Chains A and B, each alone.
Chain A
Amino acid sequence: MKKLVIYLMSGHGTPALAAAAAEGGANIVELGFPFSDPLADGPVIRRAAERALGEGMRTRACLDCLARTRELLPDTPLVPMTYAALLEAYGWDRFAADAREHGATALIVADLPAGDRPELRRIQLVAPTSTDARIRLAADRTDGWLYLVTVTGTTGARDDLSPALAGLVERARAVTDIPLYAGFGISTPAQARAAAELADGVVVGSRAVETAIEGPAALRSYVRSLRDALDAVAP
């Protein structure tokens, strides 16, 4: 079965939204820990981060959000996704330990390239611009699966699935057997299906964050449409 990863920004309503996403067929939920200056993110997630910070979603509140989500979803992998600035302030080791204690399965740091801080176990990202050597390094160091950034760009919906994904999958398959999940620029069921024809799973962020504004029912239905598209892919 192709995996579906849904990204949600931490917030007061996020545990219920994460539960709705899981009901809709999400296998993994990423929880954004907002940063004021998120370089990897396009306007949708940047604005969601601004709103979250405006409602007080600082690091400790995000950890509480994670713990409440874990209570609702005892078995779903939960992955905080954040920026180095938060870990620098909180303490790198302490953040990793506290995240795990609050229910995190793994961790993503959007601006900490593979090779830096090898002692911090995390899901590594590779991009179309990554060299083969860097893909190998990231695959060696990653925690569970490798995050393929499908576009040369920031997060956010695109009209078409990135043509760079096929080549990136091919290069990653040449160096690793670990699962490859594709994200950035995937928002429609058709794009999710096309990406899943190549990769082992897909990550959907910006459109999920937009849909979540309409509430758990809308999110569940949207995630279900993605799930159905993935289930139509031959295993």
Chain B
Amino acid sequence: MTDTAGLYGIYGGRYVPETLVPALDELEAGWRAARADPAFGAELDELGRSYGGRPTPITLAERFAPGKRLYLKREDLLHTGAHKLNNALGQAVLARRLGKRRIVAETGAGQHGVATATVCAKFGFDCVVYMGGEDIRRQRPNVERMHLLGAEVRPVEFGTRTLKEATSEAIRDWIANVETTHYLIGSCVGPAPYPEIVRELQSVIGREAREQFLDAEGLLPEVVVACVGGGSNAIGIFAGFVAYDGVRLVGVEAAQAASLADGRSAVLHGALSSVLADEDGQIADAHSISAGLDYPGVGPEHAWLRDSGRAEYVSASDDEALAAFRDLTRLEGIIPALEPAHALARARALDEELVLVCLSGRGDKDLAEVLAAK
């Protein structure tokens, strides 16, 4: 799907300072070598199974979506409580192959930060996580988890004080420490080859879900729905279905952070994608009650899937997400994260009967935010 320059149509590429180019070349070569090495895949499978808890099940949500066969892909049951671990484990193994023992990461909701801190504890890596001051406030439990896991959480107190600035600071740290450090990016964004690496590491979601849905229903789903911030859980579950033209792919953005619906072609964090930006290319502020969707950019492959028409992107408001959050909790006994609550809000209103939703994470981190929104 990518060409050698890491492009998805016109999107992607490497818009980075020269200092990083050799590291991206090294990462790309290391990634290609790892992919060609059966031992790499075997190690990831084993870590996913015995450490992460894969495969995660699919659950029929009959009370949440009466009249439908709506299944949840339960990434909330993965170790650390979200799909982010799939990517963190894979990149940790990759970092070890590259000889890097210091990890930097950005986090918004804190799920990627927790996943990164977790794998760093397991692999014995030093770990620094950049997090916006506003996100530190609203995702306090995850900050405490990162501290417990031995990570250093560095607050970012300028600009929007959310994921956009945290990502910029993580990249600046990487520029300054590139010889010893691996940047463990959390979504399918950033300069090539990151969008491809993250997609491939998250594609386990789609592979498993396709087999599980076939086992359960004897058919593929008519529609697959996932929330989209940077877009890693969506690109992971879509990867299992993109080759099946009859399966509709729907990404759900936060209404005021809808990079695909409202964005324009712009450069952010090392890649060209669809970004909330003004006519001069200056990046605009996003807003969402969900810290994980509160990002003005999106992975370049999503921009390409949108342009090609293979996937469609809609949005859900804060209130719609909160309603879906409460309904899933009360009707199914599953507390979702606010991010996939956006996907749930749209999924139950679709016309299709056979629906698969990526429940990308659990909602423990969001309780204070949800209670405050009552």
Contact = CB atoms under 8 A, between A and B. Distances in A.
Interface of A: 35-37, 39-40, 42, 46-47, 50, 53, 58-59, 83-90, 110-114, 116, 124-131, 134, 138, 149, 151-154
B168 A149 contact: no
Q: How large is the interface on B (under 10, 10 to 19, 20 to 34, 35 or more residues)?
A: 35 or more
B17 A40 contact: yes
16 contacts: A37-B283, A39-B269, A40-B175, A42-B172, A59-B281, A85-B283, A88-B266, A88-B272, A89-B277, A89-B279, A89-B280, A130-B21, A131-B22, A134-B18, A152-B19, A152-B176
Given A84-B15, A89-B266, A129 B178 contact: yes
Contacts of A149: 17-19
Contacts, number: 114
Contacts of A89: 264, 266, 277, 279-281
Interface in B241-267: 264-267
Nearest to A184: B19
Interface in B144-198: 158-159, 164, 168, 171-172, 175-179
A152 B17 contact: no
Contact of B13 (A35, A42, A59, A116): A116
A112 B16 CA distance: 6
Contacts of B282: 35-36, 53, 58, 85
Given A111-B16, A153-B175, 5 more contacts: A37-B269, A42-B172, A50-B158, A134-B21, A154-B175
Given A36-B283, A89-B280, A154-B172, A129 B179 contact: yes
A39 B17 contact: yes
A85 B269 CA distance: 10
A37 B15 contact: no
Interface in B12-33: 13-23
B240 interface: no
A113 B176 contact: no
A87 B172 CA distance: 22
Contacts of B270: 39, 111
A85 B179 contact: no
B23 A129 contact: yes
Contact of B14 (A113, A126, A128): A113
Contacts of A84: 15, 267
A46 B277 CA distance: 18
Nearest to B24: A113
B274 to A, nearest CB: 12
A90 B18 contact: no
Contacts of B159: 36, 50
Question: Among the interface residues B175, B178, B279, which one has the most CB atoms of the partner chain A within 10 A?
Answer: B175
A162 to B, nearest CB: 12
B213 to A, nearest CB: 40
A128 B21 CA distance: 11
Nearest to A154: B172
A131 B29 CA distance: 15
A113 B283 contact: no
A114 B22 contact: no
B338 interface: no
B268 interface: yes
Contacts of B264: 89
A53 B72 CA distance: 45
A152 B178 contact: yes
A131 B21 CA distance: 9
Contact of B280 (A90, A124, A127): A90
B223 to A, nearest CB: 34
A194 to B, nearest CB: 21
B176 A39 contact: no
A44 B281 CA distance: 21
Contacts of A39: 16-17, 168, 171-172, 175, 269-270
A113 B267 contact: no
A87 B17 CA distance: 16
B164 A37 contact: yes
Contacts of B168: 37, 39
